[in-house]
Amino acid sequence: MNTAVGAARGGAASAPGVAAGGVWLLALPVAAFILVFLAWPVATVLYTAFADGQGGLTTGHIEAFLSLSLMREAFGNSLIVSLGSVALATLIAVPLAYLTVRFEFRGAALVQTLGVLPLVMPPFVGAVALQLLFGRSGSVNLLLSETFGFRIPFMNGLNGVVFVEGLHYFPFILLNLVAALRNIDGAMEEAAQNLGSHGFRLFRRVVFPLAAPGFVAGAALVFVKVFDDLGTPLVLNVTNMLAPQAYLRITSVGLEDPIGYVIALVMVVFSIGALALSAQITRGRDFATLTRGGTSLRKRPLTGWSAVFAYGWVVLVLALVLSPHFGILLLSLSKVWSFSVLPEGYTLQHYAVVLTDSSRMIGNTMLYCTLAAGIDVVLGTAIAYLLLRTRLPGRQWLDWGASAALAIPGIVLAIGFLRAFRGIELPFIGGALTASWVAIMLAYAVRRLPYAVRSTVAALQQVHVSLEEAAQSLGANRRRTARRIVIPLMMGGILAGFVTSFITAAVELSATILLATSESQAPLSYGIYLYNQSIATRGPAAALGVIAVVIVALGTYLSHRLLEARAGGTKIMVDTE
Amino acid sequence: MNAGAPRKSGVDVVVDGVSLAYGANVVLRDISLDIAPGEFFALLGPSGSGKSTLLRLLAGFNRANSGQVRIGGADVAMLPPWKRDVGMVFQNYALWPHMTVAENVAFGLEERRWPRARIRERVREVLDLVSLKGFDARRPGELSGGQQQRVAIARTLAIEPSVLLLDEPLSNLDAKLRAATGLELKRLQRRLGITTLFVTHDQQEAMTIADRLAVLDQGVIQQVGTPRELYDTPVNRFVAEFVGSINIYPARIETGADSHFVVAIDGLGRARVPAPRVAGAAVTAAAGGRAIAAAFRPHAVRVVESAVADDLEFDAEVRTTEFLGEFVRHELAAGAHTVVVDLPHKRFSEALVPGMRARFAVSPAEILVLDDPPR
């Protein structure tokens, strides 16, 4: 019998006589938001890629795109960079995951915590620091050429993008793979050993296939993120890739240039394609074989040379992982730092500059992200409730629709906003929607909605239906039950969703960069990009970057605490006998 | 202490021809029950029999496709759960982890807009009633399983529901606590006089606690009666097998009379079974050429040296013995059949060891003849 009270259960089965009117009242605004601010702009972009301007359809723009050698080159480069980043991320993440799950490894917890650190810093911020440390005249190459007389082209052209992105996004693979490895029941492996399998064959035939879905999910995410990233190539001044080309087309040629839309089309197709492919591969292979009371893979001691190699690898990777943080901190404190291993003198002046000149940007970020994350958790909570607690026809589509934003590159959404909402005036405030901060805020809300949805749906799944039924049988109607039982019990997840949406919006650049039309309404992330445009303001840019990192780090810590508190909250519902 | 003394007398619960299906999946078929005011009534059945669905129907969480449910004479079909005045204690207790014990118990009273002082007093009363004085400020997570269950009961009793529904109330307790809690529940129910329905899959639990019970299988009520009636005269093979242990064999009615039927039991022999021990359905089935079965309980089998007239008698070899404490369970091989026999410890059991042959008898009054529909 079911003793784990915290376990989720199909809740909809117990909702007779749902007041249909109330449910529709809840569902309609949610659906409207998704349709107007996600589906419509994206559809506009895709349509424009095929529109011949006279109301008909044409493949002419696609042909034009293919005939431009720059476009073919950009497309190839984007693919190469994305695949290269996946390869680099795999190289970093797989050994880390295997070492920490498989072996008795001192500092395994440290590795896994530090392994998440890159996500705390937006990649385009890290790019600046890595340029200083690993660039042609960066610290490492200066040391190398002084002592050994050669340089390594870490940051040359596409290399730089791969280096930055791989270093930034490997945690996606690490986290997924570690979770998958941890979920393997030790008995799976012991059964194979009992039947005579060992060593590499054991890994190849049992352990790896069981963990493969986790790896594929992580790798697909890395591919999509890199394929869509606009900030890093721009900061590194690499423009012969798809995202920067789309940006340049729209900003220099204009909103009417069809090539920009074709690029957007290609980006959407590849994003959706990669995610669909990963879903296809992992479908039906969710091998969470670890059962209640089972034990995970047995850890083995590390000995001799393997220990030396393992610790050496970990130290190297950690040094690389921490280098952007270290570099950006150093840059924000340096008077002058160029053509030297370390800065030539330190100062706090950049922070003073930033806090006086750019406090407006920090304020903007706070305002936009608070509003966007607020919208997200309200919509997320509504979607979770509709999905899990009602039998509204098509409720699944709300979830899918909201989550679809994951597969839409920020630049595509921004182009869609500009195109679809052309000439629309804001009510009350006045002025064009696309020229206003409201558009930035809405783009954030759309892009970060999937995080809030996942978080709130998970939270509601944790709330056993009987907790609501108990309230109803004691006299609380649906609304009172929601207010007194459901929302309080979901609160941890709602807050965690808010924080996640907030911090990821705070470092959003791909959509921001197109939608921010004046410095007065620019958020922090745009400020960093802007300051990075000239050497003179690189110091303040780094200071802003540090501030962004601190905001994100605090938020990440907060959301972990909230999720822990929530886990504690549900734990107490498990039978204590 | 009369804190929880009945303030309203129990009401009757009538279920009249209720059916419920999810699409093609029929969960309840034409269920009719008549539960008297103040009765402690158990719904007994294996998982998937529809017993919990029926309970949730009374609470208002499921809706019947047809039929009527009347509580205290009033049709409740259109009432949402929060207007039913039916208290339900959930299998997992469903205590809200974000509220203290006192807040949990006060919830229903707050929803009823009781004044604060009265709520406080009532919370104290019911916590006293379930012997949880002084636990007000604890959180559910800080309580043992037994204590959590008592909080769940207190929370339900606080609103003085007209009917109390218990969903597998003992299943989350360990074996020792289970027996004691069952009796405690019964005492409490007696004192409050509240009509109580109680769902369980454990026949022993149902038999010890309930005044009457209904046995459900595949959404159909198989039999309603007192524990004794169900044990002594099950109406069909399912009930016979579900309530207690039983030996069942294919049988034939050879001759029928007003007072006796001569029944041939496959491989074991003949017995003159008194007419009341032959189910009506079995007579009909036999007349229609369909299969019937004869059954007797393991403890009805005796070891005999000489025959008594009318007894069913057979020779058998002892295959295994299993010491169960109060009695010893023997498995016998009688021809192609296996017979299970329970003999009291230290009376006969030492005499029988595996491999030994002996003569056994069953008094005809212990034999039941049932219809045996193909499953």
> pLDDT tens for residues B130-167?
889 999 999 888 898 889 999 999 999 998 899 999 99
Is 60 exceeded by the pLDDT of residue A18? no
Q: Give the nearest chain B residue to A491 (CA atoms).
A: B98
pLDDT at site A566: 56
* Cβ–Cβ gap B90/A470 under 8 Å: yes
A2 inside 8 A of chain B by CB: yes
Distance of residue A466 Cα from the nearest chain B Cα, in angstroms:
6
Contact B325, B349 (CB under 8 A): no
Q: How many residues does chain B have?
A: 375
Residue A36: which pLDDT band, with cuts at 50, 70 and 90? very high
Q: Give the nearest chain B residue to A486 (CA atoms).
A: B96
Residue A15: which pLDDT band, with cuts at 50, 70 and 90? very low
Helix (H, G, I), strand (E, B) or coil at A568: helix
Q: Cα–Cα distance between B233 and B365 in angstroms, integer?
A: 11
- From chain B residues 129-168, the ones with a CB under 8 A of any chain A CB are 139-145, 148, 152, 155-156, 159, 168
A483 inside 8 A of chain B by CB: no
Q: Give the nearest chain B residue to A474 (CA atoms).
A: B108
Q: Report the b/e string of B143-176 with b at 16+ CB within 10 A.
A: bebbbbbbbbbbbbbbbbbbbbbbbbbbbbbeee
Average pLDDT score, chain A: 82
Q: What is the DSSP string of A371-433?
A: HHHHHHHHHHHHHHHHHHH---TTHHHHHHHHHHGGGS-HHHHHHHHHHHTTTPBPTTT-SBG
Residues of B in Cβ contact (< 8 Å) with A572: 97, 139-142
Residue of B257, B128, B268, B134 whose CA lies nearest to B188? B128
Residues of B in Cβ contact (< 8 Å) with A1: 91, 168, 171-172
Residue of A278, A258, A327 whose CA lies nearest to A86? A278
Residue B348: which pLDDT band, with cuts at 50, 70 and 90? low
> pLDDT tens for residues B193-236?
999 999 999 888 898 899 999 999 999 999 999 999 999 888 88
Residues of B in Cβ contact (< 8 Å) with A473: 59-60, 81-82, 84, 86-88, 156
pLDDT > 70 in chain B, percent:
96
> pLDDT tens for residues A241-264?
999 999 988 888 888 888 889 999
SS3 string, A60-109, reads HHHHHHHHCHHHHHHHHHHHHHHHHHHHHHHHHHHHHHHHHHHEECCCHH
* Cβ–Cβ gap B156/A489 under 8 Å: no
Which tokens is B132 given?
């949880």
Q: Give the nearest chain B residue to A466 (CA atoms).
A: B94
pLDDT at site A367: 93
Beta bridge partners of B369: B278, B294
Q: Give the nearest chain B residue to A462 (CA atoms).
A: B97
pLDDT at site B17: 93
Q: Cα–Cα distance between B228 and B263 in angstroms, integer?
A: 25
Out of A466, A475, A488, the one facing B94 most closely (by C-beta) is A466
- From chain B residues 84-103, the ones with a CB under 8 A of any chain A CB are 84, 86-88, 90-98
Q: Cα–Cα distance between A417 and A410 in angstroms, integer?
A: 10
Is 70 exceeded by the pLDDT of residue A287? no
Residue A577: which pLDDT band, with cuts at 50, 70 and 90? very low
pLDDT at site B5: 44
pLDDT at site A10: 35
Higher-confidence position of A309 and A86 = A86
Q: Which of A121-125, A157-161, A165-169, B299-303 has the lowest mean pLDDT?
A: A121-125
Is 50 exceeded by the pLDDT of residue A103? yes
pLDDT at site A290: 56
Higher-confidence position of A441 and A330 = A441
| Averaged pLDDT, A49-55 | 82
Going B225 to B230 to B232 to B233, the CA torsion angle's sign is positive
Higher-confidence position of A312 and A43 = A43
Q: Give the nearest chain B residue to A7 (CA atoms).
A: B92
pLDDT > 70 in chain A, percent:
90
| Burial grade of A246 (CB within 10 A; 0-12, 13-18, 19 or more) | buried
A307 inside 8 A of chain B by CB: no
Residue A20: which pLDDT band, with cuts at 50, 70 and 90? low
> pLDDT tens for residues A300-345?
777 777 788 888 888 888 888 888 888 888 888 887 777 677 777 7
> pLDDT tens for residues A208-234?
888 888 889 889 989 998 998 998 898
Radius of gyration of chain A (CA): 25
Cα-flanking dihedrals φ and ψ of residue A243, to 5°? -60, -50
Residue B289: which region, alpha, beta or left (left: phi > 0; alpha: psi -120 to 50)? Answer: left
pLDDT at site B307: 66
> pLDDT tens for residues A338-369?
767 777 777 778 888 888 878 888 889 999 99
Residue A42: which pLDDT band, with cuts at 50, 70 and 90? very high
Residues of B in Cβ contact (< 8 Å) with A14: 56, 61-62
Mutation site for A-interface testing, chosen from B57, B69, B82, B104 by largest number of A Cβ within 10 Å: B82
